[in-house]
Amino acid sequence: MSDALRNLSPELRRAWHPLCRSDEATSSPRSFRVLGENFVVYRSPNGEVRVFFDRCPHRLAPLSLGSCEGDNLRCVYHGWVFDANGVCIEIPALGDGATLPARARLDGPSGVIESHSMIFVAPEQPLTPVPSIAAAYDPNFQRGDLPVLVTRGNAGLLADNFLDMAHFPFVHVGTFGAGEAREVPNYAVTRDGYTFAAAYEHEFANREDPGVEAGLRPLLQRRRLTYRYTAPFHLELAIEFLDAGGTNVIGFFLAPVDDEHVRIYSSLWRDDLDGSTERMKEAVDFELAVVDEDLALQSRFENLELPLDITREVHTRADKTTVELRRILNDLVQAARN
């Protein structure tokens, strides 16, 4: 079993990682850093996303400082132009009709996909499945995005934190944790390759439910929590309110930036807000406060690595999801090395 996973562990190059949100890919090139490498991204007039490593093969200048000319990308330094496939089609210094060097082409990631309003890249041939969120394609759900956050941290530890059910009444006292039961009910984890799902039901104080104040329902209600995980750092939590009705889906997508920083994309999908933008803003603000509570702890970890050898830590039955996280990531690391 591998020892530990850091943000820049080379095996992570064989997986899908969030690069940016779909609306951040425009007709102007932009740079985003993932796994210690800069990528340039832009959108062609036909709507297709183009992604290359953010360096011109000539003098390694950042292509993100250049400009788009239709499908083509022009480098700001010497004006070299590359088509949508990364092939150089113009070198102004050589004049018209010149034979262009065969090596004058852009390199890019092995894979680029667009899913649930996110753009993902796999720097090398991916071993993991394409991530997705079913609620993103359901017209009954309304979407709200949290601001993009960058924090000191380890992506594995942040994924561990999202999947951990036992920290709610301690870390989240200022938001929802004060009324949470300390005991985690027994639950099962169902794994499928590089993914898993886990669900359990419990009682909670539903202070959001207007039916409580109206006397239609009691404060103490039932809800079902379903966690879905896709390696390496794509996480989803669906919260079904069994008494009040409605579902709250939280998406949490982590991009390792460098060995000490992670970019966090998080979105909500709700089918119980009646299309209200004001209520969605309140939900986003509340979720942001929850994330802030987590980051106040996670950013202070001294050792920024996730142990993959499960004998290095003490685990209990409440840790089934986070133990499975370690097993899947360890399997990914081993497969990437073979």
The pLDDT confidence band at residue 213, using thresholds 50, 70 and 90, is confident
Alpha helix stretches (DSSP H) within 186-316: 210-213, 277-298
| CB within 8 Å of 137: residues ≥ 6 apart | 116
pLDDT digits (tens, 9 = 90+) for 225-270: 999 999 999 999 999 999 989 999 999 999 999 999 999 999 999 9
d(CA 98, CA 223): 68
Q: Where are the alpha helices (DSSP H) in 45-167?
A: 155-163
Strand partners, 238: 226, 249
Each residue's pLDDT tens digit, 311-329: 999 999 999 999 999 999 9
How does pLDDT run across 278-305, given as a tens digit for each residue?
999 999 999 999 999 999 999 999 999 9
The per-residue pLDDT for 31 is 98
* Residue 168 reports pLDDT greater than 80: yes
From the list 10, 16, 11, 74, the residue with the least C-alpha distance to 42 is 74
Asked if CATH classification 3.90.380.10 holds for the domain at 134-337, the reply, yes or no, is yes
For 17-122, CATH gives 2.102.10.10
Whether the Cβ atoms of residue 7 and residue 150 lie closer than 8 Å to each other: no
Tokens linked to 104 = 């004058």
Q: What is the mean pLDDT of the chain?
A: 95
Helix (H) or strand (E) holding 259: none
Q: Residue 209's pLDDT is what? A: 82
> Phi, psi (5° rounding) for residue 20?
-170, 175
Distance, in Å, from the CA atom of 65 to the CA atom of 77, rounded to the nearest integer, reads 9
**How would residue 1 be classed by pLDDT, with cut points 50, 70 and 90?**
low
The pLDDT of 159-170, averaged and rounded, is 95
Q: What is the mean pLDDT of residues 90-109?
A: 97
Query: Dihedral of the CA atoms 32, 253, 285, 200 (nearest 10)?
Result: 180
* pTM for the full predicted model: 0.94
Locate the domains of the chain by residue range: 17-122, 134-337
How far apart CA 17 and CA 109 sit, in angstroms, is: 11
Q: Is 181 a residue whose pLDDT tops 90?
A: no
